[in-house]
Chain A
Amino acid sequence: ETGVTQTPRHLVMGMTNKKSLKCEQHLGHNAMYWYKQSAKKPLELMFVYNFKEQTENNSVPSRFSPECPNSSHLFLHLHTLQPEDSALYLCASSQVVGGRAFFGQGTRLTVV
């Protein structure tokens, strides 16, 4: 139990579907992140939110749309994804940006 919870754990979606990934942390952290881990690739930082404000977008395609309504919740809205977007999507949080990050268990996404 890391204090960061992601739902769902597994998701299969078609290329025309719209779905959302949810992340919740009750650690009192101010920074939240979305990472993508594809097979045989390093962890890729996608988005960073600091005090609910997006501070980084690492050239992520617009079919991925993050939302941070408050400092405890982070969403990743997905639409018209491609099969190559299939990966493990990890949420993390830290007290401050660059501080020790706590990760959720991830959502295994399969796009068919």
Chain B
Amino acid sequence: AQRVTQPEKLLSVFKGAPVELKCNYSYSGSPELFWYVQYSRQRLQLLLRHISRESIKGFTADLNKGETSFHLKKPFAQEEDSAMYYCALRNTGFQKLVFGTGTRLLVSP
């Protein structure tokens, strides 16, 4: 069965500190991995996806098939990064997403 695990419910860091939000998945095929973000009082929106290999708002995520991980990283956190982050997995060729339970990132000044 497909599963996405985000082990941290809350991650609290100071502004300027590095951030790593962990995401592990279980899936036997070739998954597509995504990070979605929800800022306070805003709708859930796509942050980045592994196939794009791009950096969005300073965040990057690398798919590690050996460790079945897709951790989200940013070298220097900003206060405006405070939000709820969800890792999600999709079976290639299908549209259903499986979400993790989310990690709340709190960046303090």
Chain A partners chain B: no
Binding site for B on A (CB under 8 A): none
